Amino acid sequence: MVPFLLLLLLGLAAAAFSWPDNRSRPWLLLVGAAAHSAGMAELWLHPEPPLFGGYLFLDAPGKVVLATVSALFLATAVYSQGYLRHRHDKDNRVFVSGLLGLLAAMTVVGLAQHLGVLWVAIELTTLSTAPLIYFNRNARSLEAAWKYLLVSSLGIALALLGTFFVALSGAGPDGPRSLLLSSLLQAGPGLSKPWVRAAFVFLLVGYGTKMGLAPLHSWKPDAYGEAPGILGALLAGAVTNVAFLALVRVFQVTRAAGEGGFACDALVGLGLLSMALAAVFMAGQRDFKRMLAYSSVEHMGILAVGLGLGGGAVAGAFYHVVNNGLAKGVLFLAAGNIHRGYGSKRVEDVRGAARRLPVSGPLFLAGFLAVTGTPPFSPFWSEFVILNGALGSGRWAVGGLFLLFLAVVFVGMGATVLKVVQGDDRGAPERTGFRDSWLTAGPPLALLLAVLALGLWLPSPLASLFRSAAALVGGGS
């Protein structure tokens, strides 16, 4: 089942690359997305034993992340039918096949139970997305693609060094001499502690770059600002979540080796720093797509804080993976529509989006409310669980700063979003030919309804999935 799905996705990517017709090529995305969703549903209902000698296996954290990836990819695949038709003048050969390759790479990350395989798959997510940022073929998107490629490659090289450190920590005569997660966890305290500690530092920097934790986020505003909305949604809602999963794997090993306390402090520190930095740069942002990049930095910070706090907060972090992924889809797709409807993404040009684009405008506002944790949307609940974890374990300073940064972000982001959505569109750039349609406004609407539904009612299998994912990294309520 899993090998078949991966081969199918790679085959579709190759087919997309050789497909002659620009207009019908995006259909392949839909085929890949549908196959992936079906495959994930099948794996969920009928779990498979570990594959290839235990290298690939779907455990609870992988399930959380891959289900989010699958849902988000399906929504963006539907959206791309409308979007790429609107932009039929641009060649989408590399774009479509790159997205399919990205989906295959993310699936491998979700399944990987071996730190080497994990690293290779994370590297492939970088390589398959870098050319896609250059979709618009102009100087600005080229600059963004170059920065993304260079910064991510540096991060990934340091992550490889960290992976070697892990291998070395278990290379002693009675060590596991393997990078399989299960044998590393079993060896636990037998691993060489100084090397595990050094490995965690390098891997945190490496995968933290890919996640976009501050101060390693420098590629993010450029890449999200210049990439098409589809790619922004997938980078912010899927690729960063997948990188978070990689960090979770590393954290599992570090904890098993008895260095958990040090790792937790590092995670909480970097997480709070990311939230603080996002709050500062969010205020007065003049480009609404770059603003979303800082929102992504903030939410990666929230995930890191949740993981680092331990206890009940960890389940909140996994819940937040889903919520942030879906909400980022709403925001980036709606922002992409507004960008197309005005031909500009500068806040001083764009106003009255609610009138010009009667679905996308309000969706952008609703997406903002959802992502900043306004009830009844689901991010409110996951952030609440994390905050509860902080206060419940008596870490008042962490909880206080967490709340403070959330509030500052709400105000800063709200000012920009309201300027874009409200008012009259007189004086704004001419209407372009772009209108809201089922294909472009439907997918973000569906994602928003999902975020709302998850906020109103969390099905008990999902809640227990978050708890069992958290139990693997030492979280329990």
Partner 1 sequence: MSSWIDMTFVLVVVINLVLLASSRLGAAIRAVALQGALLSLLALLLASPAHDLGHVLLVAGGALAIKAVFIPWLMFRAIREAAIRREVEPLIGYVPSLLLGGAGVALAFAFSRGLPLPTPEMHTFLVPTALSTVWTGLLLVVSRKKAVTQVLGFLVLENGVFVFGLLLTDVMPVMVEAGVLLDLLAAVFVMGIVMFHINREFSSLDTDVLASLKD
Q: List residues near partner 1 by CB under 8 A.
A: 116-117, 119-120, 123, 127, 130-131, 134, 138-140, 142-147, 149-150, 153-154, 156-158, 160-161, 164, 167-173, 175, 177-179, 192, 194-195, 198, 221-222, 225-226, 281, 285, 290
- Residue closer to partner 1 (CB basis): 26 or 301: 301
Amino acid at 197: R
- Residue closer to partner 1 (CB basis): 93 or 355: 93
Compute CA distances 393 → 52, 79, 202, 242, 398, whole Å: 41, 43, 28, 28, 10
Smallest gap from residue 439 Cβ to partner 1 (A): 30
Q: How far apart are CA 205 and CA 274, in angstroms?
A: 13
CB 111 within 8 A of CB 57: yes
- Residue closer to partner 1 (CB basis): 8 or 120: 120
Q: How far apart are CA 256 and CA 410, in angstroms?
A: 37
- Residue closer to partner 1 (CB basis): 146 or 384: 146
Q: How far apart are CA 232 and CA 343, in angstroms?
A: 17
- Residue closer to partner 1 (CB basis): 280 or 403: 280
Q: 83 φ, ψ to 5°?
A: -65, -50
Q: How far apart are CA 454 and CA 462, in angstroms?
A: 10
Tokens 């305290």: give the residue.
Answer: 189
Smallest gap from residue 289 Cβ to partner 1 (A): 11
- Residue closer to partner 1 (CB basis): 323 or 416: 416
Smallest gap from residue 102 Cβ to partner 1 (A): 14
**Cis peptide bond upstream of 443, omega within 30:** no
**Environment class of 437 (CB within 10 Å of its CB; exposed 0-12, middle 13-18, buried 19+):** middle
SS3 of 209, please?
helix
* Rg of the chain in Å (alpha carbons): 21
Residues 6 or more apart from 45 whose CB is under 8 A from it? Answer: none
Q: How far apart are CA 267 and CA 309, in angstroms?
A: 8
Task: Give strand ranges (E) for 176-335.
Answer: none
- Residue closer to partner 1 (CB basis): 23 or 140: 140
SS3 of 180, please?
strand
- Residue closer to partner 1 (CB basis): 90 or 355: 90
Smallest gap from residue 301 Cβ to partner 1 (A): 18
Smallest gap from residue 288 Cβ to partner 1 (A): 13
Smallest gap from residue 183 Cβ to partner 1 (A): 12
Smallest gap from residue 194 Cβ to partner 1 (A): 5
Smallest gap from residue 402 Cβ to partner 1 (A): 24
